[in-house]
């Protein structure tokens, strides 16, 4: 059982010290198969209101298995996390693994002959990094594939380039199958920006990370603790579970506020216009976990991580 990311009612990010920082955790530059240079990649996010990025170039043989160094682009009001997309072994459908590692040391050994996905996950975690499984629906990952990995922190619930490329950007169904089996994973939203001409894969999804400072170290600690929520445009201002009897939600103007759990349908729903808050009774809820979705009138969403009640 994956128990890497255990968010409980008492550890929701909204009550944690610090503030929310907006960031993209997955994208590529000219150091692998992206169209922007590392400097341009960082500039684009910085000028569009982001607080941090991870540049996660593909570590493959024809790119020299190299990690892209973005430390030179850090400043007092913008920072970067050192990251990579790693490709060991093989999944059930025949292709290599895609594994997202954020917060790596620059001397991390990105390739060892014969590595399996589980080998790489173990080494990434030993190095102190945050590890996630990207775009499972895009590459038809199976639950059985996932269960060979060991313990990862998160799975992408939305990937912008997969949405643009093949309408396979959403992966909540895959995550919920994992949750049903007891795997306690977080859910991240990313662009996976490649920025090729004509592609619409920029600023489609991001995370808001609650951290005590805008530093790589503080952001990494918060990510590994699950102190973040994901968004394609809507915002969550507060989610609180009070004595496990009720849930209070505050958000940007929404058309729907949903609470979902480990049974069919929804646990609670509020539908309307310009909704900014909701309160639901949890006293009769029989669910091991729950999560909140907010959807606005344009269809943009915000999602909490799964919160474990038991």
Kindly tell me the burial class for residue 252, based on how many C-beta atoms sit within 10 Å of its own C-beta (0-12, 13-18, 19 or more): middle
Question: How many CB atoms within 10 Å of residue 77?
Answer: 8
Q: Please give the CATH number for the structural domain made up of 16-231.
A: 3.20.20.140
Q: And the tokens for 76?
A: 């007092």
- Residue identified by tokens 């029989």 is 286
CATH class of 236-308: mainly beta
Note the pLDDT of residue 45.
98
Q: What is the pTM of this model?
A: 0.97
* DSSP conformation class of 23: E
- Reading the chain (310 residues) residue by residue, the pLDDT tens digits are 666 667 899 999 999 999 999 999 999 999 999 999 999 999 999 999 999 999 999 999 999 999 999 999 999 999 999 999 999 999 999 999 999 999 999 999 999 999 999 999 999 999 999 999 999 999 999 999 999 999 999 999 999 999 999 999 999 999 999 999 999 999 999 999 999 999 999 999 999 999 999 999 999 999 999 999 999 999 999 999 998 899 999 999 999 999 999 988 899 999 999 999 999 999 999 999 999 999 999 999 999 999 999 7
Domain boundary assignment for the chain: 16-231, 236-308
């Amino acid at each position: 059982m994956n128990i890497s990311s255990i968010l409980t009612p008492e550890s929701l990010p909204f009550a944690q010290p610090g503030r929310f920082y907006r960031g993209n955790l997955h994208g590529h530059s000219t150091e692998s198969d992206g169209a922007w240079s590392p400097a341009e990649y960082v500039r684009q996010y910085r000028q569009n209101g982001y607080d941090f990025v991870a540049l996660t170039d593909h570590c493959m043989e024809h790119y020299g298995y190299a990690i892209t160094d973005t430390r030179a682009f850090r400043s007092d009001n913008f920072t970067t996390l050192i990251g990579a997309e790693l490709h060991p072994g093989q999944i059930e459908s025949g292709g290599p693994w895609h594994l997202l590692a954020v917060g790596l040391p620059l001397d991390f050994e990105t390739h060892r002959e014969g590595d399996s996905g589980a080998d790489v996950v173990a080494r990434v975690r030993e190095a102190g990094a945050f590890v996630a499984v990207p775009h499972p629906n895009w590459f038809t990952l199976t639950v059985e594939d996932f269960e060979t990995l060991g313990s990862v922190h998160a799975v992408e619930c939305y990937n912008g380039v997969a949405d643009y490329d093949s309408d396979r950007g959403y992966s909540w169904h895959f995550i919920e199958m994992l949750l049903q089996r007891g795997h306690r994973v977080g859910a991240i939203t990313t662009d996976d920006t490649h920025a090729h001409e004509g592609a619409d894969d920029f600023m489609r999804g991001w995370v808001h990370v609650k951290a005590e400072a805008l530093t790589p170290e503080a952001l990494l600690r918060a990510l590994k603790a699950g102190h973040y929520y994901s968004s394609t445009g809507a915002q969550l201002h507060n989610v609180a579970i009070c004595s496990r009897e009720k849930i209070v939600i505050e958000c940007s103007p929404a058309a729907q506020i949903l609470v979902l759990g480990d049974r069919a349908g929804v646990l609670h729903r509020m539908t309307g216009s310009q909704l900014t808050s909701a309160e639901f009774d949890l006293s009769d809820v029989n669910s091991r976990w729950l999560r909140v979705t907010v959807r606005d009138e344009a269809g943009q969403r915000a999602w909490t991580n799964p919160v474990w009640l038991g």
